[in-house]
Structure 1
Amino acid sequence: MTALPEHISIWGELADVDHGLSHVDVDGVRTRVLRAGSGPDLILLHGTGGHLEAYARDIAGLAADFRVTAYDMVGHGWSDLPDKPYTIDVLTEHLRGLMDVLDIQSAHLSGESLGGWVAAWMAAHHPDRVQRLVLNTPGNIANKPEVMERLKESTMAAVLDPSDLTVRRRVEFLFRHKEMVTDELVNLRRAVYSRPGFVQAITNTLVLQDPIVRKDFAWAPGWVAKIVAPTLLLWTEHDPTGGLDEAGMLLDWLPDARLHVIADAGHWPQWEKRAEYLAVHHDFLVLEKDPS
């Protein structure tokens, strides 16, 4: 008998975990939300052009310890696409509004890439709403123009031509092991990128790759040092958006931070190295918070 593959499908990952998928109104923005588990609140934030399925492989494991909330940020996934720039303050206010709607006073935040940037901004500007913070490959802490341009070009190319070839190339950018990129994952993102109005939506997201717009929100010690929440920097050896030197910058700026490096992974360790990703979250958010 041929052994089953480790990953069958996104539905397969969720098949044996009680969960609910719904849309809630956040200040007029219809927002897609997936919730599972019970316990302390943990909110997961995806990256640029992404959607909550970025965490499909992790929901079941995290739900053993937490009430997990994964959602599509405004202008992303199947949430509404209002025509305005999705700057970090806008994305953060959407997160704060979602927490209000879901009656979450404070939560652990774990954000990947753009989601890490939003989570960090939330922790700096609304410290009472954040308990502990995980910044998962937050990307381009040094604000390098070449990284901004590469992300902008690859994302826009995939949205303007959401064919298998261009979208697969964009998704493969996230992975060290590109063989893990499934047809299902590519086609899901093709469906998102094909939504009416999504070209304008991604244009509104990519304003953050414009140095002039970015300067008001760029990673800098002035605001990062305001983060009082204990913070885990979750880096990888092969992140295409930023190296360990940039993790070192954050370690210098953050008052209470530690670093964990996942080997042999790219920009999506939550997908490529699920077991280690889950173990690190458990250790930092459960054991370290309550060593008893």
Structure 2
Amino acid sequence: MPSTTLRISGGTATVEYDITGTGPGLVLVHGTAATREQWGPLTEAVAGRFTVVAPDLSGSGGTTDHGGPVTLADLADEVLAAADHAGLDSFHLAGHSLGAAVATHIAGTRPERVRSLALHAGWVRTDTRMAAEFRYWLELLRVDAAYGTALFARAVPLMAFGPRYWEGVDAPAHEELVRALAGAIHGEGAARQTETDLAVDLRPLLGRIAAPTLVLASAHDRLIGAEQQQALRAGIAGARYAEIDAGHGAPGEDPAGFAAKLAAYLDERLTADREPTSAA
């Protein structure tokens, strides 16, 4: 896999990323405790029309760094470094959860780079209730690290999935999912990313975002409240709003439906880019 090294606060990071397809650039940013593999269904859906770049953030997958705290700005720099290394001067940009916060940061600090923006399960500022949840995650991860338990993996579906998952799964299938999550989640990296979640405050940047934006909410998101989605919509000029019938973890709960929602928006932006500008 390609990789690129950059300086972030606290040291250096070597960012590993996937590059797939051909066409205008599309950069995808994963959520807390996930990896670039989260974007497989969407990449498959659009790789015939976009050059898709999907990096691992610090704490995930093949990306390595100094092992200390990372800021939202650090993660944004990692994403931009991957885009630069892949030869993308400007690009469409989509993010999920923490990835949506990173994408919002990029669109607000480097608006000339972003051709369109899609934010799923993003938020403006970590409020008291969200902070309490993130601190609970950190406690679970500490216990898992100390005792070899899988409490965080067991909590993820409770936090992330909506009614449709619970109505369609039986106990053995659910336990299989928990085992898979426990094997996939890197506890130390998840904790570092959760610390970054705690510090999110994007209020100063929303008014600087110039790209056409889709705010995509999950109808059954128990982590990111509806008021956060509406604050994103209100704070970003011209932002559109849509919902998916899933919980916070829509990329895992309904991979095909999630990919279809974003692919439709991206194809619309691709068509808009190709339309000739009318003469003044």
TM-score under structure 1 normalisation? Answer: 0.78
Moved more, 233-242 or 269-278: 269-278
- Aligned partner letter, 1:207: E
Equivalent pair of 1:77/1:192 in contact (CA under 8 Å):
no
**Residue 174 (structure 1) aligned to one of 157, 160, 170:** 160
Task: Indicate the residue corresponding to 1:270 in structure 2.
Answer: 251
Q: Give the partner amino acid of 2:25.
A: D
The correspondence for 1:119, drawn from 98, 103, 108, is: 103
Residue in structure 1 matched with residue 194 of structure 2 by the alignment: 206
Query: SS of the counterpart of 2:154?
Result: helix
Choose which of 19, 23, 37 in structure 2 pairs with 1:39. Answer: 23
Q: Report Cα offsets for 1:238-263 as digits up to 9, x if no partner.
A: 11222322222122111121001112
| Equivalent in the alignment of 2:278 | none
**CA deviation profile, 1:144-193 (whole Å, cap 9, x unmatched):** 21212212322551464154454232254222115386836743653442
> 2:18 aligns to what SS in structure 1?
strand
Q: What is the alpha-carbon distance in structure 2 between the residues aligned to residue 163 and residue 57 of structure 1?
A: 30
TM superposition shift of 1:54: 1.8
Aligned counterpart, 2:130:
147
The question of 1:74 aligning with 2:53 is answered no
Q: What's the CA shift string for 1:86-134, capped at 9, x where partnerless? A: 1111111111111121111111111000000000100110111111000
User: Equivalent pairs: percent with the same residue?
Assistant: 24
Q: Out of 57-66 and 41-50, give the one that drifted further.
A: 57-66
Residues 42, 260 of structure 2: 8 Å contact kept: no
The residue correspondences of 1:1-292 to structure 2 (distance < 5 A) are 22-27=1-6, 28-139=12-123, 141-158=124-141, 160-161=143-144, 163-176=149-162, 177-178=165-166, 179=169, 183=176, 186-187=179-180, 189-193=182-186, 199=188, 201-210=189-198, 214=199, 217-220=200-203, 222-263=204-245, 265-291=246-272
Go from structure 1 to structure 2 and tell me whether the alpha carbon gap of 1:181 and 1:152 turns closer, same or farther (over 3 Å shift).
Answer: farther
CA distance in 2, matches of 1:173, 1:34: 28
After superposition, give the CA deviation of every residue in 1:21-77 in whole Å (9 maximum; x if it has no partner). Answer: x14132252323222222121111111122112223332112233222222102223
Which whole-Å deviations, capped at 9, do the CAs of 1:258-285 have from their partners, x for residues lacking one?
001112x001223333343333323322
Contact kept, 8 Å, 1:155 with 1:170, in 2: the verdict is no
Is the Cα–Cα contact under 8 Å of residues 118 and 216 in structure 2 kept in the other structure?
yes
Helix, strand or coil: the match of 1:234? Answer: strand
Query: Residues 226 and 166 from structure 1, CA distance in 2 versus in 1: closer, same or farther, beyond 3 angstroms?
Result: closer
Residues 205/282 of structure 1: CA separation in 2 closer, same or farther (3 Å cut): closer
Instruction: Check 1:119–1:185 CA distance in 2 against 1; reply closer, same or farther (3 A cut).
Output: farther
Is 2:3–2:15's contact at 8 Å kept on the other side of the alignment?
Answer: yes
Look up the match of 1:7: none
Cα RMSD between the aligned structures? 2.5
The whole-number CA distance in structure 2 between the counterparts of 1:156 and 1:190 is: 19
Alpha carbons 1:158, 1:170 under 8 Å: kept? no
Distance between the aligned counterparts of 1:72 and 1:50, measured in 2? 9
Residue deviations 1:203-262 (CA, integer Å, cap 9, x gap): 43333354xxx2xx5031x31110001000010111122232222212211112100111
